[in-house]
Amino acid sequence: MEDNRKRPTRRKFIRQTIFTGAGLVFVSSLASTLSQAKDSKKMARIFITGSSDGLGLLAAKVLLEQGHQVVLHARNTKRKADTLKKVQGAEAVLIGDLSSLEETKALAGEVNKLGTFDAVIHNAGVYQAPAEQIFSVNVLAPYILTCLIQKPQRLIYLTSDMHLQGRPKLEYFKSDIQQINYSDSKLHVLMLCKAVARKWKNVYSNSVNPGWVPTKMGGVNAPDDLQKGYETQVWLATSNEEQAKVSGHYFYHQKVGRSNSDADNVSLQEKFMALCREITGVAFPQ
Ligand SMILES: NC(=O)c1ccc[n+]([C@@H]2O[C@H](COP(=O)([O-])OP(=O)(O)OC[C@H]3O[C@@H](n4cnc5c(N)ncnc54)[C@H](OP(=O)(O)O)[C@@H]3O)[C@@H](O)[C@H]2O)c1
For residue 33, give the 3-state DSSP assignment.
helix
**CB distance 262 to ligand 1 below 6 Å:** no
Q: How many residues are recorded in the chain? A: 286
Which atom of ligand 1 is found nearest the CA of 158? 45
Res. 91: pLDDT tops 70: yes
For residue 184, give the 3-state DSSP assignment.
helix
Of 73, 95, 126, 136, best ligand 1 pocket probe by most atoms within 8 Å of the beta carbon: 126
Residue 253 lies in a domain: yes
Q: What is the side-by-side order of every strand in the sheet holding 92-95?
A: 92-95, 69-74, 45-48, 119-122, 154-158, 204-209, 250-252, 255-256
| CATH number where 130 lies | 3.40.50.720
- Determine the Cα–Cα distance for residues 164 and 153; give it in Å rounded to an integer: 28
* Tally of domains in the chain: 1
Helices vs. strands in the chain: H and E counts, helices first: 9, 8
**CB distance 142 to ligand 1 below 6 Å:** no
Query: What percentage of the chain has pLDDT greater than the value 90?
Result: 85
* C-alpha closest to that of 195 among 128, 274, 279: 274
Residue 12 lies in a domain: no
Which atom of ligand 1 is found nearest the CA of 127? 47
Res. 4: pLDDT tops 70: no
Q: What is the pLDDT of residues 156-173, one digit of tens each?
A: 999 999 999 999 999 999
Q: What is the pLDDT of residues 173-208, one digit of tens each?
A: 999 999 999 999 999 999 999 999 999 999 999 999
- Residue 140: per-residue pLDDT: 98
Of 217, 234, 236, best ligand 1 pocket probe by most atoms within 8 Å of the beta carbon: 217
Q: Is 186 a catalytic residue?
A: yes
Task: Give the mean model confidence (pLDDT) for residues 269-280.
Answer: 98
Cα-only R_g, the chain: 25
Rounded to the nearest 10 degrees, what angle do helices 141-148 and 266-280 cross at? 90
Residue 24 lies in a domain: no
Q: Are 96 and 80 in contact (CB under 8 A)?
A: no
Taking residue 112's Cβ as centre, other Cβ atoms within 10 Å add up to 13
Task: Give the mean model confidence (pLDDT) for residues 3-17.
Answer: 38
Residue 266 lies in a domain: yes
- Determine the Cα–Cα distance for residues 224 and 7; give it in Å rounded to an integer: 70
Task: Give the mean model confidence (pLDDT) for residues 14-41.
Answer: 38
Q: Residue 42: pLDDT band by 50, 70, 90 thresholds?
A: confident
- Residue 13: per-residue pLDDT: 35
- Residue 197: per-residue pLDDT: 98
Res. 227: pLDDT tops 60: yes
Task: Give the mean model confidence (pLDDT) for residues 214-237.
Answer: 98
Residue 35 lies in a domain: no
Backbone angles phi, psi at 236, to 5 degrees: -65, -30
Q: Residue 18: pLDDT band by 50, 70, 90 thresholds?
A: very low
Positions of E strands within 103-203: 119-122, 154-158
The residue from 143, 157, 182, 230 that is catalytic is: 182
Domain ranges, residue 154: 44-280
- Residue 286: per-residue pLDDT: 86
**CB distance 90 to ligand 1 below 6 Å:** no
For residue 166, give the 3-state DSSP assignment.
coil
- Determine the Cα–Cα distance for residues 66 and 180; give it in Å rounded to an integer: 38
* C-alpha closest to that of 95 among 156, 57, 60, 52: 52
DSSP secondary structure, 38-59, as one string = HHHT---EEEETT-SSHHHHHH
Residue 70 lies in a domain: yes
C-alpha of residue 104 to centroid of ligand 1, in Å: 16
143-160 per-residue burial string, b: 16 or more CB within 10 A, e: under 16:
bbbbbbbeebebbbbbbb
Residue 83 lies in a domain: yes
Instruction: Tell me which amino acid residue 59 is.
Output: A
Residue 36 lies in a domain: no
